[in-house]
Structure 1
């Protein structure tokens, strides 16, 4: 029996956003047409240092080996223009150690508060198989203060281009994934998975 496709994450917000995209994009699937379903598995994976693509490829290879089947993994980056793309894929550790307010504070004194959020998704069909990467980007600016004291990741300080509110203030998952870095990446991934 073939193992089902597993989304390897312990992050409930990421899982909720991915499920929201899949449900929305597949709401008109007719009987007999292929519908992509993911199960959720939590596997602790080592996080290497490298570019966002190198990080997500390594995660996919390690996850496929541990799960012994087809997997989807993701990695999120926040690239600050003033810091030449840093903290990039290290944003999770940065926020866990310094807090989201530190992102705003580190840009005090800089004229350029622009940033790019990246969601890198990778699919691997099983141990030793080729990894396919799908990247979604969202440009924006970093607010001078967090919009809320609690919120997912950098969402309390990230204002998407063309908007006046942070992602946390927008709040509604379906609205967020309609334009977000994660939504864009998952739609590309879904198109690929349906072609298999």
Structure 2
């Protein structure tokens, strides 16, 4: 059993597609350190979650950010805050002023078994465009990959190519070797 520390049921459903283990959702609000480094954030979060959640089962945490090339990777780990304060339309308008519209979504997973923390990264390259589509959440309407925004993809299409899916696939491969 792996305890996936998240309040997002969609993330849990996606994780269950990649992991042969049973994944159980656990709502625990671990302390998210302020850092420009997703790996540092999930490493600290995974250790804390393992210590604080009852039971002896390993935990999995994740953190995701939108890294805009023209802004030297900003907002990165601060993506949720920027979305909450500026909104995706303002972010898109700021990027529109720049020559370079390229960006990447990055997810880092942190797995803690009580002894060590292992991290796994997945990324998806694309570009920032005016909002399109009705699906997804967050920055999906302004993030275009292969001609369509993530908000224009079905959940299945998005999950097949997403940054989180790539991190989960790497984790699943590693986990299979550990057995």
Structure with the larger strand share: 2
Size of the alignment, in residue pairs?
175
Question: Offset at 1:146?
Answer: 1.4
Q: Map of 1:31-46 to 2, 5 A cutoff? A: 35-46=20-31
Alpha-carbon RMSD:
1.6
Aligned position for 1:25: none
Structure 1 unaligned blocks of 5 or more: 23-34
Aligned position for 1:29: none
Whole-Å separation in 1 of the counterparts to 2:150 and 2:134: 13
In the superposition, the TM-score normalised over structure 1's length comes to 0.83
Q: Map of 1:158-177 to 2, 5 A cutoff? A: 158-160=143-145, 163-170=146-153, 172-177=154-159
Q: Is the 1:72–1:123 Cα contact (8 Å) retained in structure 2?
A: yes
57-66 vs 174-183, greater mean Cα deviation: 174-183
From 53, 58, 62, the equivalent of 2:44 is 58
Aligned position for 1:67: 53
Question: Offset at 1:150?
Answer: 6.9
Whole-Å separation in 2 of the counterparts to 1:153 and 1:15: 17
Query: C-alpha deviations, 1:40-89, integer Å up to 9, x for none?
Result: 00101111111111111111111111114310000001110011011101
Aligned position for 2:171: 189
Aligned position for 2:5: 8
Structure 2 unaligned blocks of 5 or more: none
Whole-Å separation in 2 of the counterparts to 1:21 and 1:155: 22
Classify 1:96/1:20 alpha carbon distance in 2 versus 1 (closer, same or farther; 3 Å): farther
Aligned position for 2:78: 90
Whole-Å separation in 2 of the counterparts to 1:93 and 1:166: 21
Aligned position for 1:47: 32
Whole-Å separation in 2 of the counterparts to 1:187 and 1:150: 23
From 112, 126, 129, the equivalent of 1:140 is 126
Which structure ranks higher in relative contact order (CA pairs < 8 Å, sequence separation ≥ 6)? 1
Looking at CA atoms only, which structure, 1 or 2, has the larger radius of gyration?
1
In the superposition, the TM-score normalised over structure 2's length comes to 0.91
Structure 1 residue matching 2:169: 3-state secondary structure: helix
